[in-house]
Amino acid sequence: MPLVHVLLALAVTVVWGLSFVVIKLGIGTTPPLLLASLRFLFAALPAVFFVPRPKADWRILLAYGFFLGIAQFGLLFTAVALGMPASLASVVMQAQVFFTIFFAALLMGERPGPHQILGGAVAFLGLALMAWPRLTGGGAGPFLMTVAAAACWGIANIVSKKAGRVDMLGFVVWASLIPPLPLLALSLVLDGPGPVLAAVSHANLGMIGAVAYLAYPTTVFAFAVWSFLLSRYPAATVTPFALLVPVAGILGSALILGETMHPVEAAGGAVIVLGLAVNMFGIRAVRRRPS
């Protein structure tokens, strides 16, 4: 893998990791579901006028837009608004890897390998460690919503697999047309017309910056680069870079937001990353083991 492509992969992980910080900052001035709605509105516009529509069934696009945009990010943004720390959210969301494996086995008949089962068990232990102080305290709701968001991401991954070999940038851009109106409607119902109209009519640079970051670097740029790399290298070469997303999220949250992690939560996060490492690198270790 050339150095320039390594740097591109690292840039994607940093962009995705810092997006959790931007979400936390954005909901300080904008209702969470409205912020999610604007994110997908501007991820789709004006890109849909320049990016060709992918050769995928509209039902697949609708399902992807629902599970990725409305379900996953609706739950995640709301969880962060209710108190889920950005640093913890960046770690817990990586459970999507194991939800994807589970749903692939359940719905597509893909049998997970022993290293994937072991990695999933290790990551589940990490989630349990992180959940313990929250389930016994007042943060159970936001934590469970974040886990549910990771599960929805897993389903969205299965939907994208069902789409087959299509242009993933076009797939993401056109699917981004689905979430804005439903998310806006949910925001009007749950947050009330007053806060929504006030946020839109008094949009400040913080809100505009948050929407721009979440729409363009996080969605358009990052997904385009990730798809570019996956089209040229084996998934086993590219996907391990995702292990750095929580690192960027935790460091960004500490430096920008001043968040600190409970020792048990830090230990749980480390165990989840270990489970991800077993899942991604385990098969290589098995193959390289001397006979």
**For the chain, domain boundaries:** 3-288
Per-residue pLDDT averaged across 87-116, rounded?
79
CB-based contacts of 247: which residues, under 8 Å, 6+ apart?
Answer: 13, 17
Per-residue pLDDT averaged across 64-91, rounded?
91
| One-letter amino acid for residue 50 of the chain | F
Per-residue pLDDT averaged across 254-273, rounded?
80
> How many Å from the N-terminal Cα to the C-terminal Cα in the chain?
29
Average pLDDT, whole number, for the chain?
83
Per-residue pLDDT averaged across 274-283, rounded?
71
Highest mean pLDDT (candidates 7-11, 34-38, 94-98, 137-141): 34-38
Q: Which two tokens stand for residue 160?
A: 């994208």
Q: Is the pLDDT of residue 1 over 80?
A: no
**Looking at residue 178, what is its pLDDT?**
95
**Looking at residue 69, what is its pLDDT?**
92
Highest mean pLDDT (candidates 60-64, 102-106, 250-254, 273-277): 60-64
**Looking at residue 82, what is its pLDDT?**
92
**What's the CA gap between 291 and 273, in Å, rounded?**
28
Q: Is the pLDDT of residue 256 over 80?
A: yes
**Looking at residue 291, what is its pLDDT?**
46
Distance of CA 191 to the CA centre of its chain: 23
**Per-residue DSSP letter, 53:** P
> Binning pLDDT at 50, 70 and 90, where does residue 152 land?
very high
Per-residue pLDDT averaged across 181-190, rounded?
95
Q: Percentage of residues in the chain with pLDDT exceeding 70?
A: 89
Q: Is the pLDDT of residue 286 over 50?
A: no
Query: In this structure, which long-range contacts are made by residues 259-264, counting pairs with CB atoms below 8 Å and at least 24 apart in sequence?
Result: 259/85, 259/86, 259/87, 261/85, 261/87, 261/88, 262/133, 264/129, 264/130, 264/132, 264/133
pLDDT tens for 213-241 read 999 999 888 877 876 776 677 655 666 67
pLDDT tens for 29-59 read 899 999 999 999 999 988 899 889 988 888 9
**What's the CA gap between 202 and 62, in Å, rounded?**
32
Higher-pLDDT residue of 210 and 251 is 210
Predicted TM-score (pTM) of the model is 0.83
